[in-house]
Structure formats: structure tokens, C-alpha cells
Amino acid sequence: MNAPRLADLTTTAVGGPATRYLKAETEQQLVQAVAQADEVGEPVLIVGGGSNILASDHGFEGTVVHVATQGIDVLDTDPAMGTLVTVQAGHSWDQAVLWSVEQRLAGLETLSGIPGTTGATPVQNVGAYGTEVSQAIENVHTWDRQAGEPRTFSADELEFSYRDSVLKRSMEHGSPRYVVLSVAFRLLPQEVGLPVRYGQLAGALGVEIGECAPLDTVRETVLRLRASKGMVLNPEDRDTYSTGSFFTNPIVDDPARLASIPDDAPRYPVLDAAGHEIPGSTKLSAAWLIDHSGFAKGFGLPGSRNQQLDLDGETVANGRAALSTKHTLAMTNRGGASSDDLAALARTVRDGVEHVFGVRLVPEPVLLGMSL
């Protein structure tokens, strides 16, 4: 079949064509598609929801495998350990979260509204509102392209950290060694969500940190908060034409560097995969650093300006790419933007923050065929 442009497969709506395109609707089709491309030495790009890829307009010289596998299975329920659930890699992540809430299974509710597919979540250890997906993962079933055989990783073997895992570290030029086939989660059968750990969410729920709220209420509140920031996909809202948060929150281990950051800058503990605090590490807010470097919401649109750094926003990408008007962490396609436009915007923001605070922000999405 004719290969679609990556612009049609990603949430930023930028990116050129692929040489070949295959849609895999079963686990067997997924393994076969990847294995066949590997046999002839053709580069492989795995695409699910396309929410974590910023692709070059030059396209991809290789095979794009579109993961469209579906299904949720309950494997067992242990009164002491909880319910073990397996979700296919191509299953919509938010639909999986909705299913868990409807089944009164706690553990994923604060991750509502995150775009993309389930298979992508362990790769970068997605997280939001005080929860990381690693805290609920039992194991991840993959296809090892080097060994040519399946491999199942336990949560410990995945070596999760903030927005990172063995799966992500195995990637080369956006192509993984381990192709995720399914993810198993251990969830708790109960009417309320897990204890709330994030201040903004606690305030919106009207509870204290450490208290619980009904599962439905937590999901609805998270979706409302995300929508207010343009972080829930909406074809009518240009603020959602992005990869979501473009930069990870920087982790600072250097006491001298941390001391140079203003006292009113938000600081958060860094947690390991089990949710325990890592001593000596502090997570800063990338959004706060961007905003306090003079980049306001909508920077890049006509009439926008960074007074602090004396930058005219529109000149960065002629208004085609801009920070979201709802959230400074999202680099958005305002209509007709190229990959170079979005890269120029991200580069301007990154360099500006480093100039002001001495902290270099790191991109969260996979940059395919391009760099900042």
C-alpha cells in the first residue's frame, strides 16, 4: 500500500513519507513485519499513537510499522497482590485507563488523558500528577530484534528511572532493539484511587496530599486539568498539535547549581521505580524555568515577544510554530509548520533557559532524522 506521510501518523502533524508502511493488527503480524524488515537490513520505525515522535519532513527511509494490536485480558486476581492485567501494545492508553477505572482497579487513574498507545508507556516511563507507569508494571513482553526471539522483562529488569528505561536506552536513531508486544499491570481492586501525591491534583480534588478520592472523580479531574493545558488531543484545538510536554523536568544533582536557582522555583523529589525518594537529586519544573526565562504562553505567535531576552517570537518560525497558549511546555504546530519550524522553536527555548539559569533542557520526544 502507499506509505502515508509521518505527518498523518503523529500528533504534531509534521513529517515526510516512509519508504514502506505496514499496519500490524495482531502480535504475530507485528513480529513478522519487524523480522522481515530486519532480514533485508531495512531500518524500522515503530509507530503507535505518534504522540512522542517529531519527524523530519525528509521522511523515513525504511519500514514504518504501525502498531494497532488491541485487547485487555485479566490474568489473575490475588487478594494480597491485586489483579494482573495484560494490555496489547497497540491499545489506546487512555482507553486502557478508562477500562481500569470502570473495572474499579486502581493504579493508572492519574495517567488519564495521556495520548498514545500502551506499548509506548514503559519505554519512557510515562508519568503525570505524581504517578509513573513503572509503579504499576509487572512485566513487559517484547520481541528482541537482535536475538530474533521474544523476551519478557520484569519491572526490575527494565531499570526504570525518570522518563527512562532499558527499552528507551536500547533505541538507536529512534528504532528500538526491543519491540513492545504487551504490558502487564498489577492493579488494586478498590473504589478509590491511590493516595494523591501531587499538590495541584490534591487541590483540584479538595483532598490533602496522601488522601484518596473515588476513581471516577480522579479521572475526571485529571482530564479537566490536562484539557486546561491543551494536553488532551482535540482536532479543533491547535494547542494540542504537539508531542505534549516537549522537555523533561531537569534533574539537578549538583548542590552549587541547585543553589543558583531562585528559592521560589518549584522543587520535587526524584523517585525510583518503587516510588521511593532518591537522596541528593532534585527535580525542577521545566515549565517554570521556561516561563521565568521570558517565554510566555503563545511565544512564537504574531505579536509575541520575550522581553527578558529581547526576542521577537514571530521571527522564530514566522508564526507557524509556537508555544501552546495554555502551557509553555508544548511546542505546537499552528498550521503549516515544518519540522524545522518546531525544531527552531524548541532550540530557541532550550538555549534561552540555559542562558538564564544554566540548566540545559532535554527533549522528551524521539527526534527522527533531525536534532535541535
- Show which residues are catalytic: 163, 245, 364
What are the backbone angles phi and psi of residue 65, rounded to the nearest 5°? Answer: -105, 115
* C-alpha cell read off for 42: 531495512
For strands 127-128 and 131-132, give the pairing.
antiparallel
| Helix orientation angle between 93-102 and 215-228, rounded to the nearest 10 degrees | 150
Question: Cell triple for residue 110?
Answer: 492519574
For the record, the C-alpha cell of 127 comes out as: 508519568
Q: Return all residues near 112 (Cβ < 8 A) that are at least 6 apart.
A: 94, 97, 98, 101, 218, 219, 222, 223, 226
Cell numbers standing for residue 339 = 519540522
Is the distance from CB of 191 to CB of 214 less than 8 angstroms? yes
- The three cell numbers locating residue 353: 533557559
Residue with cell 484545538: 237
Cα separation, 140 vs 116, in Å, equals: 17
